[in-house]
Structure 1
Amino acid sequence: MNLNINGLDELDLQILDILIKDSRTPFLEIARKCHVSGGTIHVRMKKMEDMGIIKGTKLMIDNSKLGYDVTCFMGIYLDKAASYPNVLESLNNIKEIVELHYTTGEYSIFMKVICKNISDLQDLLLNKIQAIEGIQRTDTLISLSQPIDRNIEL
């Protein structure tokens, strides 16, 4: 591992590496693995939160077990770049959109959408997304499986 990456030292990176593998690892177990005190871990975690490196915790849910069986990715073509703020505001109110990126390349916006079924996806496309002023057209890719889902390793 590199030393002093963005103000982080070897211990900070070691802590992050442990948490990336299992974010529920107790501070005392991290301290034991790093050969430091629990207080040191607490101080380091607070420092990384203050720096914006750690942005809280996130509950991971298996959406299919809640009846959401369709995951897809959608590319959006805007009629003009100036439409982006208004389109973003409208898209932000659609609960099925779980991730959104303003991008370079073919699409202006690329997003991840989760729906209960294909019928709901069709309704979402026709009545919610494609009805937004400023959206010229969309491309939809349906995910068949997600064999990799991880954070970057340090």
Structure 2
Amino acid sequence: MSGLDATDLAILRILSDDATRSAAEIGRAVGLGQPAAWRRIKRLTDSGILAGRRVIVDNAALGFGVTVFLGIRLAAKGRTSLEDFERAVTAIPEVQTVQHVLGQFDYRLRITARDISDFERILRRRIMTLPGVGQVEANVMLSEERRPGPLGAS
């Protein structure tokens, strides 16, 4: 969708910061009435620009204090092996994201675990037994800073 105006971008910034805000609140923030703000939000949703609303869960508060990024290179790279790997890896609850990437590895996974021992269990019993897994490289996250993304703050 092209033709986003400054009001559309302001609405996107507001929603990307707090998706729970009502159309009335958003309208007040951008100088529109609630019905006009709702129509714009619906148009952004219908066009696919707004692809959903998510809640951010504090993993540490739930007892998941370790986040690890895994680079995985598959031993074989046929279409079947990619599909088998993706199907199996997405069934593991500790795997938060699965990214098919170009570069040294074929996949990048974000895994949450209670602690390093829990991560080791996940790695040995779940990740290393996945179909087609060849090389694996782990990077433990030390800290994370939230970035505003392409919309930035204007």
TM-score (norm 1): 0.90
Q: Which amino acid aligns with 1:133?
A: P
1:40 aligns with 2:64: no
Distance 1:68 1:114, change over 3 A: same
Distance 1:55 1:151, change over 3 A: farther
Question: Where in structure 1 are there 5+ consecutive unaligned residues?
Answer: none
RMSD: 1.5
1:126 is aligned to 124
What per-residue deviation string (whole Å, max 9, x for no partner) do you get for residues 116-146 of structure 1? 1111111111111111121112100001111
TM-score (norm 2): 0.90
Question: Where in structure 2 are there 5+ consecutive unaligned residues?
Answer: none
Q: Which amino acid aligns with 1:14?
A: A
For residues 31 and 57 of structure 1, the distance between their equivalents in structure 2, rounded to whole angstroms, comes to 18
Q: Kindly tell me the number of residue pairs found equivalent between the two proteins.
A: 149
2:72 is aligned to 76
Query: In the TM superposition, what are the counterparts of 1:1-154 in structure 2 within 5 Å?
Result: 6-82=2-78, 83-146=81-144, 148-154=145-151
Q: Secondary structure at the match of 1:112?
A: strand
Q: Secondary structure at the match of 1:122?
A: helix
Q: Is the 8 A contact 1:80 1:134 kept in 2?
A: yes
Q: Which amino acid aligns with 2:64?
A: Y
